[in-house]
Structure formats: C-alpha cells, structure tokens
Amino acid sequence: MAILETRQLNKHFGGLHVTGNVDFALQPGEMHCLIGPNGAGKSTFFKLILGEHLPDSGAILYDGEEITRAKPFERIRKGISVKFQVPGIFKELSVQQNLTIALQHHVAPEILQEEIDRLLAFLKLSQDRKQLAGNLSHGQKQWLEIGMAVALKPRLLLLDEPTAGMTPDETFATGEMLQELNREGMTLLAVEHDMAFVRQIAHQVTVLHFGKIFAQGTIDEITADERVAAIYLGEVDA
C-alpha cells in the first residue's frame, strides 16, 4: 500500500487551476523527486499534502487513512515532516540548543544528549555544536534544518528545494545524508531543480506542468523524454 496517495486532487486560485486532478502515489521506502518549470504547482501540491492549503476536491491518504482535511499538526503527529526552503532555525541559539528544542519534549531526558550527539554526527555539525546557528554557512543551516525535521524520526519527509543555494560539494553531501535516512526506512519526497541532485537520489521522478502530472519515471526515462525537454523550453502549453 502507498504511504501517500492523492486521488483526483484539485486546487484553484481564482480562475487558475494550480492542482489539476492529480493522482499520485508514493511507495514506502521510495525517494521521489517532484520537478517542473516555475509555477508548475509544486509548492502548492506540497502545501496540500501538509494541510496548509485545503483542496477544492479530491482526497489525500496517508497509510491508507484519509487526511484530506486533517490539521497540519495532526499530519505531523502521524509521521509526516517537512523541511522548507527558508530555514526555520533559531539563529540566536547554538546548534545544540536548536536540536534540543526539536527533541526535548519527545525524548526521555536520560537519552537526550545521546540523541543530540547522534544527530550532530549525522549532520556533520559535531565540531560546530556551540556555534550560533546564525553563524553557520548556508549549507550547514540547511543541514541543521534537516536535522530538526528528522529529529522525531518521521516516516515521510517532504523537502522543498533542499539544495537551493548550496555549493556542488554541499549538494552532494546533502544527497548522501538523505540516502542514509532512506536506508534507515524513511520515505522522501523532494521538490528539486538541480538535476544532478535528482539523479543522485531519486528512484522515481514526477514532472508537474500547469498543475497536472505530465510525466513519471526514472531519471533516465525523464531526461530522455523530448516532451519533458519541450516544457522547460516553453514549447508545451496547458
């Protein structure tokens, strides 16, 4: 059974059909990338999954259970987590304090430090634990944000352009981090523009165009598809 499924999902903004009859299924253990030109509706699709927008019609199922109108916090409680593009870390607190905030109400006090150390090592931030989060490099801030998003070990992690603004080395290291999470059993869905990164991590790729699923397949199938190249060149209309 799919861990996440949308059925005939629709969302309008005024006259603009931003999500159009989207039937999408994500299998447990999959690393899936969502791509598409600017304005294709990728962020809106994420916000529907997270409950930040409610659809006009259609359904969203998580683990077979309908969550179409569930509140965002209810979805988080069920095991969905998200890393947004803009870091939501506390800049005036240290790296360690940020992770403490993410963990403290969910982890027994006697294993809190152990869990923080585990996360710091995973995020390659052990040396920077006392550093103020605001002083980290752009890439390190994104990693800390990933750490906060995965602190509670969600089953499904959504990432909105996780490598935006990163150097190629940081991008590659981020891919390795996400692969490690995936090996531990996490399912991942990422909106991404960097095709080298998509190639590094994605088992499956979905192309959105004008709010509809335009193509789906492996990265090799997608990059070989001339129709997909044409939409990026603005040669395919709604």
Ligand X SMILES: Nc1ncnc2c1ncn2[C@@H]1O[C@H](COP(=O)(O)OP(=O)(O)OP(=O)(O)O)[C@@H](O)[C@H]1O
Chain positions contacting ligand X, by CB under 6 A? 13, 16, 18, 36, 38-44
Distance in angstroms (rounded) separating the CA atoms of residues 137 and 143: 10
Which C-beta is closer to ligand X: that of 44 or that of 81?
44
What is the smallest separation between the CB atom of 79 and ligand X, expressed in angstroms? 24
What is the smallest separation between the CB atom of 26 and ligand X, expressed in angstroms? 18
Which C-beta is closer to ligand X: that of 41 or that of 154?
41
What is the smallest separation between the CB atom of 100 and ligand X, expressed in angstroms? 32
What is the smallest separation between the CB atom of 85 and ligand X, expressed in angstroms? 8
Which C-beta is closer to ligand X: that of 82 or that of 120?
82
Phi-psi region of 218 (alpha: psi -120 to 50; beta: other; left: phi over 0): beta
Which C-beta is closer to ligand X: that of 11 or that of 75?
11
What is the smallest separation between the CB atom of 142 and ligand X, expressed in angstroms? 17
Which C-beta is closer to ligand X: that of 6 or that of 44?
44
Which C-beta is closer to ligand X: that of 46 or that of 62?
46
* 3-class DSSP string for the chain: CCCEEEEEEEEEECCEEEEEEEEEEECCCCEEEEECCCCCCHHHHHHHHHCCCCCCEEEEEECCEECCCCCHHHHHHHCEEEECCCCCCCCCCEHHHHHHHHHCCCCCHHHHHHHHHHHHHHCCCHHHCCCEHHHCCHHHHHHHHHHHHHCCCCCEEEEECCCCCCCHHHHHHHHHHHHHHHHCCCEEEEECCCHHHHHHHCCEEEEEECCEEEEEECHHHHHCCHHHHHHHCCCCCC
What is the smallest separation between the CB atom of 144 and ligand X, expressed in angstroms? 23
